[in-house]
Amino acid sequence: MVGIIDDTCLHYTIGTRIKVGDNYGTVKYVGEVSGYNGIWLGVEWDDPQRGKHSGCHEGKNYFHTQYPNAGSFVRPGKVGPFESLEIAARERYLGYSAESSLDVSLIREAQQKMQASFFEVVGMDKIARKQSKFEQLSEVSVDNCPINEAGYLKDFQVLTTLNVSSTLIWNWKIVADICKQVPTLRDLNLSCNRLVLPTDSQIKELEPAFRNLQCLNLRNCGYNRWGNVTQTAKLWPNIEVLALQENPLTELDVVNCKEIFKNLKELDLHRTKIMDFDQICKLGNICTLKSLNLMENGIEEIKLPDCEPREKLKIFVALEQLNLLYNPIWNEADTFNELDKLSSLKRLNKSPHLKSDFDEMFSKAVGMISQLEMLNKIEVSAEARRDASYDIWKRYAMEWLQAADTPEILYDFYKKHRTYAEIIEKYGSPAEFVVRPKSKQSNLIKIRVYNQQSGEIWEKRVPRMITVQTLQGLIAKRFQTTSSSSSSLPQLSYIDAKYPELVVPMDNSAKTLDFYSVQDGDTVIVK
């Protein structure tokens, strides 16, 4: 029995990954179980529903699981077979079986021993042609294969991208062997594997093998402590892209960028459990970080450290792209005002609030984040920025007027609306805009309609509540600008009589003139 236990322990080291049917697990115990004959493997399953207990049987603790009832005992004979990355790749890309691969190796060995290159086998030319194509593969995917070792990989001469997700790779020594044999490898997908945390001595030994690696995907690899991520990250000194999505992380720590993440440009933390944005701020000292993905994390509020209204923060100094899609963020205006504190933010992804829509969100974001260039992959044009700025100018005019005479209140106003001071510099004080509607006015206003094409001016009294579409119809009839196309109504904008440098497009035909704040004496431009 002792000999059997020794053989099983050698074959199934603690930490070894196994697969039984469609279920993946990690070996936590090898040995006898009280009340049963033979050798058993104590397994912690990736899917806790697959287990029966937490490693305790009849009052005795054999091992411990992270989640309750995620463990069970299985016989070694029920565990599926293992294979090397070499064999898995040949089977998938060349159609080799393990036996045919062995035959080719024997033929090559025979050729060398006999020193007879003319020694041939029927079909060897076909194998050689396949082998040539195999050696030129730049991308290889062998996901869901029972791989637990590298094998011989030096035939991969130009391989840059490798997918070994959902395999049985279980420690960084195996990964280092792969990277060492394939120095051209730049992009590695290790998703859905469980790897033993490397020790400091192992990191010192294995780190040189990872120096060419630039992109690493560790999606759903069971990382629940940020310290385990940063310890492992010491292995990859030149990593630029790191994906950690679907790992149950809840808290982060400030990164020591002298040790790790010296070149990190993209970090994916979507669908983790980081709900507190204060935790995200701990990553702000990664001065090379350009893209951060925080999708589906349950974040409700974005709050950054305080700074002066017209200054930017000295954290996330290189961050250009931020993905906040599908987070239940409740206050859009506050969120965009906070994000204006980031000096380099150009591209933002965010879902509209339930009480908002995309157009409203777009206007707020563009008007409140001064350097924003793209929202949800839609580029911000000069016209869109002008419209959004005018909307912000209008929206907070009354609040600004109430604060204007008290420096302390005005300072707080500018902290809440960081771009407003710049907007005022561009469009002037909104005092007149606020005051005008207070007085009782006629429901009719007199406007000047200017036809850019003919130079003709038409003065017309119209109701304040007339829609842009109705006005377009009147203008088309007056200037005879319509054609056979039903969609050729003239495009309108207007110049504010008080602020002649302010040209406002009237691009929503369903809105009224009152919505656009058109007043007596304003000029409507017909394009």
The pLDDT mean for the chain works out to 88
- Residue 123 token pair: 């079909």
Please give the helix or strand (H or E) that residue 200 lies within, else none.
helix 200-206
Q: Which pTM does this prediction carry?
A: 0.77
pLDDT tier for residue 227 given thresholds of 50, 70 and 90: very high
Q: What percent of the chain has pLDDT over 90?
A: 68
- Residue 88 token pair: 């898995």
Q: Does residue 2 have a pLDDT over 60? A: no
Please state whether beta strands 241-243 and 492-495 pair in parallel, antiparallel, or not at all (unpaired).
Answer: unpaired
**What is the distance, to the nearest Å, from the Cα of residue 518 to the centroid of all Cα atoms in its chain?**
43
Q: Does residue 80 have a pLDDT over 90? A: no
Distance CA 225, CA 208 (A): 25
Distance CA 218, CA 206 (A): 18
Domains of the chain: 7-78 (2.30.30.190), 83-91+131-383 (3.80.10.10), 444-526 (3.10.20.90)
Read off the pLDDT of each residue in 206-221 and give the average, rounded to a whole number: 98
pLDDT tier for residue 414 given thresholds of 50, 70 and 90: very high
**Contact call for residues 83 and 98 (beta carbons, < 8 A):** yes
- Residue 144 token pair: 């869901």
Q: Does residue 124 have a pLDDT over 50? A: no
Q: Does residue 114 have a pLDDT over 60? A: no
Q: Does residue 125 have a pLDDT over 70? A: no
pLDDT at 483: 46
Q: Does residue 154 have a pLDDT over 70? A: yes
**pLDDT tens for residues 233-262?**
999 999 999 999 999 999 999 999 999 999
pLDDT at 481: 62
Distance CA 130, CA 124 (A): 10
Distance CA 60, CA 51 (A): 17
pLDDT at 434: 66
**pLDDT tens for residues 38-76?**
999 999 999 988 999 999 988 899 999 988 999 999 999
- Closest-CA residue to 329 (of 288, 280, 379): 280
**pLDDT tens for residues 433-469?**
665 444 556 789 999 999 988 889 999 999 989 999 9
User: Please, where are the H alpha helices in 340-459?
Assistant: 358-368, 382-395, 397-403, 407-416, 420-427, 431-435
Read off the pLDDT of each residue in 478-501 and give the average, rounded to a whole number: 74
Of 113-127, 178-192, 329-343, 403-417, give the lowest mean pLDDT range.
113-127
Nearest-10 crossing angle of helices 420-427, 407-416: 100
**pLDDT tens for residues 250-300?**
999 999 999 999 999 999 999 999 999 999 999 999 999 999 999 999 999
Distance CA 264, CA 213 (A): 12
Distance CA 362, CA 507 (A): 15
527 Cβ contact list (under 8 Å, min separation 6): 452, 490, 491, 492, 493
Q: Does residue 417 have a pLDDT over 50? A: yes
Question: Taking the CB of residue 47, how many other CB atoms lie within 10 A of it?
Answer: 12
DSSP state of 198: P
- Closest-CA residue to 98 (of 157, 151, 168): 151
pLDDT tier for residue 322 given thresholds of 50, 70 and 90: very high
DSSP state of 62: -
Q: Give the residue with greater pLDDT, 331 vs 485.
A: 331
Q: What is the CA radius of gyration of the chain?
A: 33
Q: What is the DSSP string of 146-191?
A: -EEE----TT-SS--EEE-TTS---SHHHHHHHHHH-TT--EEE-T
